[in-house]
A and B are shown apart, each in its own frame.
Chain A
């Protein structure tokens, strides 16, 4: 993965054929080509997931196998159309997805798209918080490590970064819960808010679902504090994982830029070392971060599933784990496809951002 990719070589999130070298054309052409590349990616993932999930049996037997008689089971299977040829089901499924219908869950008969609208915001909030933590931790420490390259601060930070990678989010979460929740009683250990606050926030008019935003809009400072307290531990658990990656990335790139001639020129003009590091070397070192951010989305979402389960943070990952336990594979398939689409689109946005910032990417 990105962890030890050699410096200077930025892995593209999608190594699909890059647009051909064009002198003109420029940005718009790149956006369109890149957008069209989403389609095969999503299509392949949907196909792979569909056939994998169906290869071994139908979801109804998996979910309700022990609870219904064989006759009832057969009837349910027939009703849902799972006894028809696989290819017909596949094309029907594709058609459904095309119209924005990802199916209904077996256990509680909810539309998968409703799960997205109900729980998506929570996952988004967690992801944003985690990226914030990762940036706050990763960038300054990465600069410090680059500045003190191969000396003690660098060695300690590198080991810490590896440690952040080596610690599974759920173990980090367990430790955080134990220390700050159970022993110190500083912070709550589960959920997104107290139930009173949660009730208050969900009855708001047109809630965004992102609790701190809703709390701010309602002007209720107590709710805001409560929501923030709940958000801290999950954000740290997930953020440290990504933060370690950022630290290494900033370090490698800042080492590259610190050795450049323009930095040397700045030094000869008497620019302070602090300013050299934080201003001159820092900006160009950030570009690869944005490119690699696309890769991080996949890592982040995988981590979010585990973090949400750890902290009972009711988002997409939490629901996914719930449906997994209930063996509701229609729901699992729906959520997985949903996440695949989200990943593909985020990658697209990240690539466009990278192209905006660094024009070289476009060609």
Chain B
């Protein structure tokens, strides 16, 4: 990760960055998992960022100057992954799908992070009736199938304001609502624990306002475990987006490319043995989720001393046994 070339003064905080510190901690199999996860996630990011450069055609392009594209053409020639029944290029749509995915993931995670952390802080610190209602609500939502809730939310959003927000934003908001309780619970639990700590009490004694205590003293301490939830939620956001798209609640094929929707279209193709329309968007989902899960998993293991495999001696023994990464 290029940390060695950095001046010594910078080393301290670079080493503390979540992923880099985890890389340093890891060894053997765990390092292998972390690195392959990072590689897959990197692939996804590259596809998303450089989609217009990588994809030969536009995602909603079904013809060019030479006329319409062939329909359901097998992979080969101009269309390396074939074309769909609508004449779209599968490769281009899959690459552009990464863009949609990353936008929804970022929007959903950022929004739920913001709202969830805020609610968790206020609810945990101030307590009272607000806390009780918030906990009840979040518990009820938490126990509910998230896909169903996302469906309800997308009905709410796309019924009223679909033209203002666009399908992508609607999907992101639907997913946000599902995730708020998760952040809320984690942050609230942490705040409840920290509330009794001496440093909070001393701040109160000095006369710090509740807001100051919450946002300067508690916020930093209560959000330590969030990077982990972040990676987990990113994968769930993607899977929920694909699920919504598969049920036809996704994004119009002409406004953006979405993997779940493409898979929905591909279901009928599969019956007649046309595999390329479904295989590639599906693989894209799997690769992306797999990459992010591997990163999250490894970070989780490395954060837990009971699961961490970091001693050199042990690592050496594993390598000698021929099982090292």
In the complex, are the beta carbons of B141 and A7 less than 8 A apart? Answer: no
Tell me the complex Cα distance, A55–B155, Å: 10
In the complex, are the beta carbons of A166 and B293 less than 8 A apart? Answer: yes
Top-8 shortest CB links A-B? A171-B282, A56-B160, A302-B147, A166-B289, A302-B145, A44-B140, A166-B290, A56-B159
Tell me the complex Cα distance, A97–B9, Å: 66
A301 touching B148 in the complex, CB below 8 Å, given contacts A4-B297, A306-B243, A324-B248: yes
Interface residue stretch chosen among B47-55, B199-207, B211-219, B228-236 = B228-236
Q: Which residues of B contact A16 (CB under 8 A)?
A: 135-136, 139
- Chain B residue at smallest Cβ distance from A13: B143
In the complex, are the beta carbons of A48 and B140 less than 8 A apart? Answer: yes
Q: Which residues of B contact A324 (CB under 8 A)?
A: 151, 155, 247-249
Q: Which residues of B contact A340 (CB under 8 A)?
A: 144, 148
Q: Which of B135, B153, B247, B321 contacts A309 (CB 8 A)?
A: B247
Q: Determine how close the nearest CB of chain A comes to the CB of B14; give it in whole angstroms.
A: 26
Q: Determine how close the nearest CB of chain A comes to the CB of B139; give it in whole angstroms.
A: 5
Q: Which of B148, B249, B290 contacts A336 (CB 8 A)?
A: B148
In the complex, are the beta carbons of B290 and A171 less than 8 A apart? Answer: no
Q: Which bucket holds chain A's interface residue count?
A: 35 or more
Interface residue B34 (Cβ < 8 Å from any Cβ of A): no
In the complex, are the beta carbons of B278 and A150 less than 8 A apart? Answer: no
In the complex, are the beta carbons of A332 and B246 less than 8 A apart? Answer: no
Interface residue A325 (Cβ < 8 Å from any Cβ of B): yes
Mask, A131-162, CB within 8 Å of B = 1, is 00000000000000000001110010011001
Mask, A39-71, CB within 8 Å of B = 1, is 011001100110011011100001000000000
Overall SS of chain B's interface: helix
Interface residue B146 (Cβ < 8 Å from any Cβ of A): yes
Given A15-B142, A16-B135, A45-B141, 17 more pairs with CB closer than 8 A: A6-B300, A7-B304, A41-B140, A44-B136, A44-B140, A53-B152, A55-B160, A155-B29, A159-B294, A167-B282, A170-B267, A178-B270, A189-B271, A298-B143, A301-B148, A305-B247, A324-B249
Q: How many residues of B contact A (CB 8 A)?
A: 67
Q: Determine how close the nearest CB of chain A comes to the CB of B122; give it in whole angstroms.
A: 18
Interface residue A128 (Cβ < 8 Å from any Cβ of B): no
Q: Which residues of A contact B293 (CB under 8 A)?
A: 3, 162, 165-166
Tell me the complex Cα distance, A302–B236, Å: 13
Interface residue A175 (Cβ < 8 Å from any Cβ of B): yes
Tell me the complex Cα distance, A197–B137, Å: 46
Tell me the complex Cα distance, A7–B304, Å: 10
Tell me the complex Cα distance, A301–B144, Å: 10
A298 touching B144 in the complex, CB below 8 Å, given contacts A15-B185, A170-B246: yes
Residue ranges of B at the interface with A (Cβ–Cβ < 8 Å)? 28-29, 32-33, 135-137, 139-148, 151-153, 155-157, 159-161, 185, 228, 232, 235-236, 239, 242-243, 246-249, 260, 263-264, 266-267, 270-273, 275, 278-279, 282, 285-286, 289-290, 293-294, 296-297, 300, 304, 306-307, 309, 318, 321, 323
Tell me the complex Cα distance, A105–B286, Å: 37
Most buried by B among A1, A16, A158, A343: A1
Interface residue A177 (Cβ < 8 Å from any Cβ of B): yes
Interface residue A356 (Cβ < 8 Å from any Cβ of B): no
In the complex, are the beta carbons of A44 and B143 less than 8 A apart? Answer: no
Tell me the complex Cα distance, A321–B32, Å: 41
In the complex, are the beta carbons of B147 and A48 less than 8 A apart? Answer: no
In the complex, are the beta carbons of B282 and A174 less than 8 A apart? Answer: yes
Interface residue A299 (Cβ < 8 Å from any Cβ of B): yes
Tell me the complex Cα distance, A1–B181, Å: 11
A336 touching B300 in the complex, CB below 8 Å, given contacts A171-B263, A174-B267, A174-B278: no
Q: Which residues of A contact B307 (CB under 8 A)?
A: 7
Q: Determine how close the nearest CB of chain A comes to the CB of B145; give it in whole angstroms.
A: 4
In the complex, are the beta carbons of A4 and B300 less than 8 A apart? Answer: yes
Most buried by B among A163, A166, A320, A325: A166
Q: Which residues of B contact A45 (CB under 8 A)?
A: 140-141, 144
In the complex, are the beta carbons of A343 and B270 less than 8 A apart? Answer: no
- Chain B residue at smallest Cβ distance from A248: B297
Q: Which residues of B contact A4 (CB under 8 A)?
A: 228, 232, 296-297, 300
Q: Which residues of A contact B278 (CB under 8 A)?
A: 171, 174, 178
Q: Which of A7, A41, A301, A329 contacts B139 (CB 8 A)?
A: A41
In the complex, are the beta carbons of A7 and B306 less than 8 A apart? Answer: yes
A162 touching B290 in the complex, CB below 8 Å, given contacts A53-B156, A344-B143: yes
Mask, A319-336, CB within 8 Å of B = 1, is 011001100010011001
In the complex, are the beta carbons of B156 and A55 less than 8 A apart? Answer: yes
